[in-house]
Amino acid sequence: MAYLKMKLSIIVPIYNVEPYLRRCVDSLLAQDLAEDGYEIILVDDGSTDGSGQVADALAAQHTNVHVIHKKNEGVSVARNTAMAVAKGKYVQFVDADDYIMPNVLGELVAKMDAEQLEMLRFNYRFVDDNGDVTHPNKYSQPDDYSDSICDGLTFLNERLGGGCYAWQFMFAHELTCINFMHGIALGEDTYWTIQMLMRVKRITSVDSVIYNYFVRGESATFNPSPAKRQKRLDDQLWIISKMQTEFKPQMNDRRWLDGQIANTAISVLTTVALHCYGERQHYINELKRNKVFPIANHHLTPSAQRKRRWINISPRLFCYLVHLKNKVK
Q: Of 148, 269, 280, which Cα lies nearest the Cα of 207?
A: 148
Task: Report the distance separating Cα 302 and Cα 52, nearest Å.
Answer: 44
Q: Residue 270: what are its φ and ψ, rounded to 5°?
A: -65, -45
Q: Pairing relation of β-strands 169-172 and 119-128?
A: antiparallel
Average pLDDT over residues 94-108: 97
**Residue 3 is inside which H or E element, if any?**
none
Highest mean pLDDT, choosing among 20-34, 118-132, 148-162: 20-34
Q: What is the pLDDT of residue 299?
A: 77
CB 40 within 8 A of CB 28: yes
Q: Pairing relation of β-strands 6-14 and 38-45?
A: parallel
Task: Report the distance separating Cα 204 and Cα 143, nearest Å.
Answer: 12
Record the pTM. 0.91
Q: For 245-289, what is each residue's pLDDT tens digit?
A: 999 999 999 999 999 999 999 999 999 999 999 999 999 999 999
Q: For 287-325, what is each residue's pLDDT tens digit?
A: 999 999 999 988 788 889 999 999 999 999 999 999 998
Average pLDDT over residues 80-98: 97
Rounded to 5 degrees, what angle do the CA atoms 255, 308, 192 make? 45
Q: What is the pLDDT of residue 219?
A: 47
Q: Is 249 exposed, middle or buried (0-12, 13-18, 19+ CB in 10 A)?
A: exposed
Q: Of 10, 9, 8, 16, which Cα lies nearest the Cα of 74?
A: 16
DSSP track, 228-290:
HHHHHHHHHHHHHHHIIIIIGGG-S--HHHHHHHHHHHHHHHHHHHHH-GGGHHHHHHHHHHT
Q: What is the pLDDT of residue 329?
A: 59
- Three-state DSSP state, 208: strand
Q: Of 39, 28, 45, which Cα lies nearest the Cα of 63?
A: 39
**Residue 70 is inside which H or E element, if any?**
strand 65-70
Please report which confidence band the pLDDT of residue 161 belongs to, taking 50, 70 and 90 as the band edges: confident
CB 117 within 8 A of CB 98: no
pLDDT of residue 137 exceeding 60? no
- Three-state DSSP state, 312: helix
Task: Report the distance separating Cα 127 and Cα 142, nearest Å.
Answer: 18
Q: Is 154 exposed, middle or buried (0-12, 13-18, 19+ CB in 10 A)?
A: middle
Average pLDDT over residues 107-123: 97
CB 119 within 8 A of CB 200: yes
Task: Report the distance separating Cα 258 and Cα 169, nearest Å.
Answer: 22
pLDDT of residue 222 exceeding 60? no
CB 98 within 8 A of CB 167: yes
